[in-house]
Amino acid sequence: MVAWTSTDMFILDVVADDVENLGDIVLRLNSSIPSAWRHRAGRSFSREEVVLSLSRLVKHNLVQTYVEDDKEPALRALSSSSLPSEAYEAAWFGITSQGRIVHSSWEPDNRSSNQD
């Protein structure tokens, strides 16, 4: 069994309701609002840290990668566990059904104390 880091879980939480791009994930993690993960974790999250965590989550099929479709204004899912071949900035990320199971088993009371 994989030991998920707090950053992994924070990212799952960010993408639990909607697909997000890398920039939006970093912004939401580091938001200035008091309920943001930056405040709960007591630190900021770097782009590099988020990319590493997203790579781990995609590899283990907890997060799905999407890219913009060339033919229509829609997102196209990449095959399971596939990372974007282009820059991460061009990709979107959303939670998978397996990711929902892991996310739902994460106890809200432990969210702020689950450290890396």
Give 103-116 pLDDT, tens digit per residue.
999 874 444 444 44
Q: How confident is the model at residue 71 (pLDDT cuts 50, 70, 90)?
A: confident
State how far the Cα of 54 lies from the Cα of 7, in Å rounded to an integer: 9
Domain ranges of the chain: 6-106
Q: How confident is the model at residue 22 (pLDDT cuts 50, 70, 90)?
A: very high
Residue 10 buriedness (CB in 10 A; 0-12 / 13-18 / 19+): buried
CATH fold of 6-106: Arc Repressor Mutant, subunit A (1.10.10)
Other beta carbons within 10 angstroms of residue 49's beta carbon come to 17
